[in-house]
A and B are shown apart, each in its own frame.
Chain A
Amino acid sequence: MLYLLELGIQLGSGSNQKTERSKSIVSSILVYYIFLAGMFIIGIYFLYDALQAYNTGDVEGAGFSAILGIIGIGMSIYMLTMLRKRVSTKKIPKKVVTTIECTKCSLKKIRTFTKGDYVLKDTENCTKCDQPMLITAIYTEKTDKS
């Protein structure tokens, strides 16, 4: 129901004409849900009916009811899945890292990217040999939070 509400809110903005159409769409979806629920219940009933018929020895009737029941349940679940399918809004967080290397002793450091970094930029001095270090790579890494 939450997304029905969302839909209502989203569609509800704008002119009166828009609101009327929004209401019409929301009510159509509501009817559709009721219809699917009904279909599901009837599907369950037919499965039960199939079991009853099988117990009484009516194999043909049981088969017919079972088919109807399975179709009903299957169709209602499928249609519900279709309606609930939403566009993912999940963002994959990515971490940008900067690799710095010493041009003399090849000391390598990897740190988080900071604004102003660019590839092949001379940066801080090497802690080992006091020579200027060079940014050799900037790339993204997927974080575990995703």
Chain B
Amino acid sequence: MIASLLGQEGDILNSIFQVVYLLSFLLFMFYGQKIQTLTMLREVGSAVRKLKTLKDDSRRLAIDTISEFGKNSGDPTPRIDHLLEYFTVMPKNLDPLGFVPKLEHLIDVRDLRFKKEIKIIAPEADKVQSSNIEGVLEVALGLNGIYKIVNHFYLLGRKTMNLYVIMQVQMQLPQIIRTAEAYSLAGKAFAEGQPIGDGAGALVAAKMMHGSENKEVAKNILASQIEHEGRTVFVIKADGPGANIGKYGVAIKQFIEENDGKVAMVIMVDAAGKLEGEISGSTAEGTGSVIGGLGVDAFIIEEVTSKYKIPVNGVAIKQSMEESVAPMTKAIFDGVNVAIARVKRIIHEETKEGDIVILVGVGNTVGVGQ
């Protein structure tokens, strides 16, 4: 039948198809952008649904974790929901003079507020558990923020059908989803007290200081004095195994000033972002304060070390952004041992017997004791 159609009326059919075909090209020409917008909207819509699932899961995890330690203080859900909407207004930097102390104050206030809230909703939690709950809440807060921003662009894109509105978020989707998935894993790690990739630096310090006496020298910061090849090494890390970060800057400044600036070297070990193609857990050495965060600690360290002309060396344990918040992998764990060897070599080669060295293991110390 088709053959007869094509045989007898082939020319007419051919002409019709050619016209339809040309019209389809015209349709693409004029409606191509709308088609592209619809395609992108669908993709973002799918991501929004996934982000909502991750956000809801992390909220549920926060509620379950907190309920475990607050059986007698009622349902924590409304308070958790309030905390998930918590915001922080950064200090104005029109006049940058004095910006860092303002930022430090702001971080302290926020931290204190979270700790107070946790004390109210989970009164039975001990110090370690409170820190871990804080980590779980931070993850839930982060995922809630990611979901809200992506959803905002999705709904705005649907409302305006503007390609450029939806394109802004569509282009970043793979990275956003990877980050959200890593956050989701981090939530579970905090709830169960498992070490995360970011704790690699803390683990280096923990292994170095293990077996020696330690004391709290600054907020959530512990320090041990050890002897290594005739050098006095002050090893600093956040108080583990709770999910703490601590004030490294204050601790380093205090040590340097206590020793009248007679410190031969500061060595900082931290997890550092790797580029695609670099191997997870590989280590690298460099100069400067290897510390992330908002920059308050780095500022203090730079101030005090430049004042006393103390060299600052860094050892970075490479990992992707996702790995840094997800439970620690074997590759990163192996990288920790390599980093320890590098630290020992730096101390051996760059300092002499009788020198004072400060070794700082930077990072979240969840699941890492000392």
Q: Is the CB of B194 within 8 A of A138?
A: yes
- Do A138 and B181 contact each other (CB < 8 Å), given the known contacts A10-B45, A119-B368, A120-B207? no
Residue interface bits A66-96, CB-to-B below 8 A is 1, else 0:
0010001001000100110111110100101
Q: Is the CB of B17 within 8 A of A45?
A: yes
Inter-chain contacts of B17 with A (CB < 8 A):
42, 45-46
A87 to B172, CA, bound (A): 12
A10 to B42, CA, bound (A): 11
Residue interface bits A1-28, CB-to-B below 8 A is 1, else 0:
0000001001100000000010001001
A10 to B173, CA, bound (A): 19
Check: B294 CB closer than 8 A to any chain A CB: no
A140 to B280, CA, bound (A): 14
Inter-chain contacts of A21 with B (CB < 8 A):
158-159
Q: Is the CB of A42 within 8 A of B329?
A: no
Q: Is the CB of A115 within 8 A of B193?
A: yes
Inter-chain contacts of A85 with B (CB < 8 A):
39, 43
Minimal Cβ-Cβ distance residue in A for B49: A10
**Which of A11, A75, A139 is the most central at the interface, judged by chain B CB atoms within 10 Å of its CB?**
A139
Inter-chain contacts of B159 with A (CB < 8 A):
21
State which residues 132-163 of B face A: CB under 8 Å: 158-159
CB-contact partner of A68 in B21, B53, B203, B333, under 8 A: B21
Check: B210 CB closer than 8 A to any chain A CB: yes
Q: Is the CB of A48 within 8 A of B368?
A: no
Inter-chain contacts of A57 with B (CB < 8 A):
none
CB-contact partner of B38 in A28, A115, A137, A138, under 8 A: A28
Q: Is the CB of B45 within 8 A of A7?
A: yes
Check: B201 CB closer than 8 A to any chain A CB: no
Q: Is the CB of A25 within 8 A of B21?
A: no
Q: Is the CB of B193 within 8 A of A25?
A: no
Residue interface bits A106-123, CB-to-B below 8 A is 1, else 0:
000000010111111100
CB-contact partner of B195 in A11, A83, A119, A141, under 8 A: A119
Check: B47 CB closer than 8 A to any chain A CB: yes
State which residues 26-60 of A face B: CB under 8 Å: 28-29, 32, 35, 38-39, 42, 45-46, 48-49, 52
CB-contact partner of B328 in A25, A79, A138, under 8 A: A138
A139 to B326, CA, bound (A): 10
State which residues 13-56 of B face A: CB under 8 Å: 14, 17-18, 20-21, 24, 27-28, 34-35, 38-39, 41-43, 45-47, 49-50, 53
Inter-chain contacts of B194 with A (CB < 8 A):
96, 113, 138
A21 to B159, CA, bound (A): 8
Q: Is the CB of A118 within 8 A of B46?
A: no
A25 to B35, CA, bound (A): 11
Nearest CB in chain B: distance from A59 CB, A: 17
Inter-chain contacts of A120 with B (CB < 8 A):
206-207, 210, 368-370
Check: B330 CB closer than 8 A to any chain A CB: yes
Residues of A within 8 A of B (CB): 7, 10-11, 21, 25, 28-29, 32, 35, 38-39, 42, 45-46, 48-49, 52, 68, 72, 75, 79, 82-83, 85-89, 91, 94, 96, 113, 115-121, 137-141
Jot down 24 A-B pairs with beta carbons below 8 A, ordered by A. Answer: A7-B45, A10-B49, A29-B42, A32-B38, A35-B27, A42-B24, A45-B17, A68-B18, A68-B21, A72-B21, A79-B35, A87-B46, A87-B173, A96-B192, A113-B194, A118-B193, A118-B240, A118-B368, A119-B195, A119-B241, A121-B241, A138-B367, A139-B195, A139-B327
